[in-house]
Amino acid sequence: MKVLVTGGAGYIGSTICSALEDNKHIPVIIDSLVTGNKTFTERRIFYKADISDSKALKKIFSDHKDIEAIIHCAALVTVPESVKKPYLYYHENVSKSLELFKFASDSKIRIIFSSTAAVYKSSKDQMVTEDSPLGPDSPYARTKIAIEMALQDFCNAYGTKAISLRYFNPIGADPKMRSGPSADAPTHILGKLLSIFDGKESAFRIAGIDWPTRDGTAIRDYIHVWDLAEAHIKALESFDHLVTDGNPYSVINLGSGQGTTVLEFLEAFEEVSGAEITRNDSSPRPGDTAGAYANGDKAWDNLGWKPRMSIEQGIADAIKWNRKVS
């Protein structure tokens, strides 16, 4: 199957492209390269363009009339930046996605959307199902739920069919080292720890120590990026069984089902890397939350999917990738 991957030069998008190829599918990438890595497009079908560029989309679908689905990963994703620049995030994430969805609906192309678990409302329970209350705490997360709502409306009004995959926290790199995280100024925990491990930063800042968790630090559900990519293959290949004319839209959580606190992750990193990380307690960043972890029953029941790779493997693969590109 030939699949258009928006944001296919990014961390997650490029890993999905590799999983597509490994499963005998053909990715076609559209990426503006504003944040993407052109290296990840090498030896692949690639169009440097914005996802809202109708002329570029028409050319892509004219060149590749056999494209059967879109995996939509393109987005700005940095929470603190979204707090400072909400217009940028709503414009890039929401407005441009609407143009892509309009094109897809006119062309009757199936859509798999890269959403986020950050759409859920913070609660003491912390484990969330697809039916848990929504309450995004940052402009970034609110753009994702806005896109989901628009996509569902498109499905109900225009006959579009779509699946939103709500990611928890991807870590690691392609186990074959074809791609990995490429941010120059990392904001997520593993990127910050790697920066300290490399001597680029001196200490790890723990953003909040009074969260309602077992050790006071925020809790997250970490999932190896390769497991995440494989879930997209499952969704793609099971698409027609998951969404139908009578049920054209579905939401599925993608997570490990296990919550890991910041301190627990830090200890895992020290164990895998052999390094001792200096840590400083500080206040939460704008948009930070206590966090949540997934109930994975729907992913297993609908996709036959659950993560296979551990946090330690994700850390080890990230360290290996970091050494490769350093």
The bridge status of strand 67-72 relative to strand 45-48 is: unpaired
As annotated, the residues of the chain forming the CATH 3.40.50.720 domain(s) are 2-171+222-254
| 140 is annotated as an active-site residue | yes
pLDDT confidence of residue 245: 92
Question: What CATH fold (topology level) applies to the domain 189-220+258-292+308-325?
Answer: UDP-galactose 4-epimerase; domain 1 (3.90.25)
Secondary-structure class of domain 2-171+222-254 per CATH: alpha beta
Q: How far apart are CA 94 and CA 12, in angstroms?
A: 19
Among candidate residues 47, 120, 140, 293, the one labeled active-site is 140
As annotated, the residues of the chain forming the CATH 3.90.25.10 domain(s) are 189-220+258-292+308-325
Please answer whether residues 14 and 20 qualify as being in contact, where contact means their C-beta atoms are separated by less than 8 angstroms: no
By three-state DSSP, how is residue 253 classified?
Answer: strand
- Residue 133: exposure state from Cβ atoms within 10 A (0-12, 13-18, ≥19): exposed
Number of CB atoms found within 10 A of residue 132's CB? 18
Q: What is the pLDDT along the chain (326 residues), one digit of tens a residue?
A: 999 999 999 999 999 999 999 999 999 999 999 999 999 999 999 999 999 999 999 999 999 999 999 999 999 999 999 999 999 999 999 999 999 999 999 999 999 999 999 999 977 778 999 999 999 999 999 999 999 999 999 999 999 999 999 999 999 999 999 999 976 656 689 999 999 999 989 999 998 999 989 999 999 999 999 999 999 999 999 999 999 999 999 999 999 998 999 999 999 999 999 999 999 999 988 878 888 899 999 999 999 999 999 999 999 999 999 999 98
pTM over 0.75: yes
Can you point out the beta strands (E) in the chain? 2-6, 26-31, 45-48, 67-72, 110-116, 127-128, 162-167, 169-171, 204-207, 219-220, 222-224, 249-254, 260-261, 279-282, 293-294
